Amino acid sequence: MELQVKDKVFMLAASSKGLGYGIARELAKDGAIVCLASRTETELKLAAKKLHQETGAEVFPFVMDAASPDSILNWTNAVINRFERIDGLLVNAGGPPAGGFQDFTDNDWLKAFELTLMSAVRMIHAVLPSMKANGGSILTITSMSVKEPIETLLLSNVFRSGVTSLVKSLAKELAPHQVRVNNLMPGRIDTDRVRSLDQIKAQQSDLPVEDIQKANCKTIPLGRYGSTDEFGKAGAFLLSEAASYITGASLQVDGGLIKTVW
C-alpha cells in the first residue's frame, strides 16, 4: 500500500524518539517532508540526522516545548514560512507523572492540563488556517487508558480522555474543510516511557524489572510489547491519504490488551 505522502509536509510533535519518531520514520520512508519537534535540542538533531541518513527525506527539526503556547506558535510559523503549507499534524507530548489521587497538588493538575490537553488544543488551533485552505489530517496520540484507566496514571487518564473527546468533536466540525482528525491509542509499546513505568512498578513491588515485564506480557494476547516501528506504521497510515475516508476514529495498537468492546 502506498501512503501517497510524497513531498507532503507533516509536523510531528515529541518526535525525536519513541512513538513520534516511529511515525516520522514511516512517513519519511514514503517521501514525506517531516518537521520534527522536541524540547531537547541534542536528541532532536541526532534524530533528524539519523532519519535523513536512513530515508533520504527532507527533515526540518525545531526545538519546541509542548506546554508553551509561544513555542507551539513559533514552530508552526517556522514550518509555514519554510514550506508554505501543512498537510498533517501529529499531536504528541510526554506523559504527566505517575501517581495516585493523594500524590498530586493543584499545581500538578494544572501542569498536566497544560502539557496533555492544552498542548493538543493549541497545536490544532495553530495549523487550522493552513489546513482549512488545503485540507489535511490531524492525529493525536493518547493511551489505552482512555478505554481502561490505568491505576498509577491518574493525570494521564483524565486529560488524555479529554483529548479523545476533542478528536471526536473536531472530526465533525472540520469535515467540511476536508480535514480529518483521528486518535491512536498505544498499549505497551517498548519506549523509554514504558520502561520507566515498569521500573517504577518494580521498585514499588521490590521485584526485578524483568519480572514486571514478564507479568505484563502474560496479559497481552500477542504475548509481547509492541515496537515503535509497528506503532509507526499505524500512525503513518492514519495521517496519510491511504486513510482518506477515516475520521473521528480511535485505533488501539495494543496486541489485544484492551478488553473493552468499544
Q: What is the C-alpha to C-alpha distance for residues 207 and 167, in angstroms, rounded to an integer?
A: 39
> 113 — phi, psi (to 5°)?
-60, -45
Nearest alpha carbon to residue 163 among 91, 67, 73: 91
pLDDT of 131 above 90: yes
Distances in whole angstroms, Cα of residue 175 to Cα of each of 139, 239, 248: 14, 15, 10
Q: What confidence category does residue 261 fall into, taking pLDDT thresholds of 50, 70 and 90?
A: confident
pLDDT in tens, 178-237: 999 999 999 999 998 899 889 988 998 899 999 999 999 999 999 999 999 999 999 999
Q: What confidence category does residue 95 fall into, taking pLDDT thresholds of 50, 70 and 90?
A: confident
pLDDT in tens, 147-169: 989 888 999 999 999 999 999 99
Nearest alpha carbon to residue 191 among 140, 147, 226, 156: 226
Largest CA distance in the chain: 55
Cell reading at 178: 476536508
Q: For residues 10 and 83, is the Cβ–Cβ distance under 8 A?
A: no
- Residue 64's CB: how many other CB atoms inside 10 A? 26
Angle between helices 119-134 and 69-83 (to 10 degrees): 20
Q: What is the C-alpha to C-alpha distance for residues 83 and 97, in angstroms, rounded to an integer?
A: 36
* Structural domain spans, the chain: 9-187+227-252, 188-225
User: Global pTM?
Assistant: 0.95
Query: What share of residues in the chain are helix, strand, coil (percent, to 5)?
Result: 55, 15, 30
Q: For residues 86 and 79, is the Cβ–Cβ distance under 8 A?
A: yes
> 127 — phi, psi (to 5°)?
-90, -10
| Candidate CATH numbers 1.20.1560.10, 3.30.450.40, 3.40.50.720, 1.10.3720.10; the one for domain 9-187+227-252 | 3.40.50.720
